[in-house]
Structure 1
Amino acid sequence: MTIRTKTPGELDAVQTAFESDVQAVQPGILTVDGEWTQRAFIVGSSLGLVPWPQFAQVDYAVVLCDGVWRRALPVQHFFPMSAGTGSQLDLPTDLPTDLAPSKIALQVDNPTGKAAEFTAIIFGPCVNPAFQIGTNTYEVDVTVAAGGYISLSATGLEKSIHLTADNGDLSDVFDKGKRGSGSGGGSYVFEPIPAGDSLLTISGNFGIDLTLYDVSGGVPWRTLSSQTPS
């Protein structure tokens, strides 16, 4: 990667940041045009020859850590207009059974042409929230108070489930996610989202923010509005 600048002094600060990542063994994020990202280390540099004393050109060696580039697609918001109670509905007559809560049908769009990684935010209040996309059910067996939410990550970089309480307390609830028999089993909480349009069914009165990720082995330049790395 080549950097050219008219303010060579700024390169010192940049070099310090690069070295700090390596020393901490914590990669930074390399972003192309604010769209495609990958974790990376900058591990070496060499000063290029330029004819102007106030102009610098530096060639950096970059180690890409993930093997693929990722781009977050626009967040899809799902808030049922008709809220269920999350519990059974009592019939006016004294029968030995009642009605199950209604389910709200919505639609998820995955335009990538392949199964997509995703992250989701599930908003409380709800108890054991579950939703179905296509043939797979995603369920987390926790109670979420009003003002709280679940953060679910199902990407190649991270598989995690965290609960944020209404007071801001953060808990790791990874073991509360239903994983069934694993991917393809129909009840895997980290199952990729199918390509195309899929029916989303929410059983309860909670909202979901769903972010899908496009993944590519190389930066697809045709998708960029400009070709400016950052």
Structure 2
Amino acid sequence: MYRIYYENNFRESVCFTSWPYMVTGGDIFDGKWDEIENEDHIQGFERKIQDKTLDIEIKAIGAEFRKAVDVMNDVFERDILASKPGKLWVGDSYMKCYITESSKDGWVSDIDIVSDELKIIADYPYWIREVEYPPFRKEASSEKSSALGLDYEYEYEYEYSGDQSVQYLVNDHYTDSGFRLIITGPCINPAIRIGGHLYELRTTLYDDEYAVIDSSTRYTQDRSVYKVQKDGTKVDLFNARNKDSEIWQKIPPGKSTVTWNGNFRFDITLFNERGAPRWTL
């Protein structure tokens, strides 16, 4: 069975696939795309704010039952009061959302089990599976690993070529994926090509500094590019990007060649989005 649980922004979670909470139904596996219409013609599709339901039972004995009800509501409400969406997980994918309503049935009899219908609302109703790749290391580290003949667990995603000049990234999703790219200093004007596309920042990163290119969302206004200094100060790098090459261009599906000068390390995570959770894990 899928593990289904809600995780808030305070590292608290409620699991709906083990007692005292057990899922009994709902529509979280349903998906809907809204058409973009112009003069009676469909121009494309988008996903607007969506409501979902999750039906559960809460079952425990005595004080543990009352505690289970209160703890669950506390976990949900902390995100609501903070106006920060939590994550509803189904298997290895999640949707950013709030749980805003709880409709209980059968509580009048004062027994140790009740049915509860939870209402979920999301303004970014995509199910996201994060795929984190092994680090693309400095050239010296890469040469050492290759010389030792190390066999990486993630060989299907990442491999060394014989001459150390080319490495690869494999996106197993069926469409382009958003990403988060973290470049670790020290380095000057870091530039990386993935699938022939240039991602370049015209800035200096010192020891214990790193830059982040965040294209994890399809909404332009929520994307970011910045660096974090040694003392934790965040500095916007929007004007330091190479303006001739789209800094947030998504990573295409399939195998992409990755090239850079080898003088710095970087890490990349892909964000694969779907309209509904995957049926098979």
Q: What band does the TM-score fall into relative to the shorter chain?
A: 0.7 to 0.9
- Say if 2:216 and 2:270, in contact at 8 Å, map to a contact too: no
Query: Is the 1:128–1:142 contact (alpha carbons within 8 Å) kept by the matching residues of 2?
Result: yes
SS at match of 1:76: coil
Distance 1:11 1:42, change over 3 A: same
Query: In the alignment, residue 57 of structure 1 is paired with which amino acid?
Result: S
Find the counterpart in structure 2 of residue 115 from structure 1.
176
Q: CA RMSD in A?
A: 2.2
Aligned partner of 2:234 in structure 1 is 170
1:30 aligns with 2:88: yes
| 1:125 corresponds to | 186
Q: Is 1:44 matched up with 2:101?
A: yes
Q: What are the within-5 Å matches in structure 2 for residues 65-214 of structure 1?
A: 65-82=123-140, 104-156=165-217, 158-180=222-244, 187-214=245-272
| More RCO (CA 8 Å, sep 6+) | 1
Counterpart among 198, 216, 219 of residue 274 in structure 2: 216
Uncovered stretches (5+) of structure 2, i.e. residues with no partner: 1-53, 142-163
2: CA distance, partners of 1:130 / 1:104: 15
**Shift in Å at residue 3 of structure 1?**
2.8
- Letter paired with 1:178: N
- Tell me how far 1:52 sits from its aligned partner: 7.6
Question: What TM-score results when the alignment is normalised by the length of structure 2?
Answer: 0.64
Identity %: 25
Return the alpha-carbon distance in structure 1 between the equivalents of residues 267 and 96 of structure 2. Answer: 24
1:97 alignment counterpart: none
2 CA distance for matches of 1:154 and 1:195? 16
Secondary structure at 2:111's aligned position in 1? coil
1:14 is aligned to 2:72:
yes
> TM (normalized to structure 1)?
0.77
CA distance in 1, matches of 2:185, 2:171: 25
Aligned partner of residue 192 in structure 1, secondary structure: coil
Count residues with an aligned counterpart.
197
In 2, the alpha carbon distance for the partners of 1:28 and 1:37 equals 9
Can you list the C-alpha shifts for 1:62-114, whole angstroms capped at 9, x where unaligned?
1122121111013232114348xxxxxxxxxxxxxxxxxxx942111111122
CA contact (8 A) 2:213 2:226 kept: yes
Q: What SS does structure 2 have at the residue aligned with 1:8? A: helix
Cα distance in 2 for residues equivalent to 1:220 and 1:4: 24
2:119 to 61, 66, 76: 61
> Does the CA-based 8 Å contact 1:119-1:155 persist in structure 2?
yes
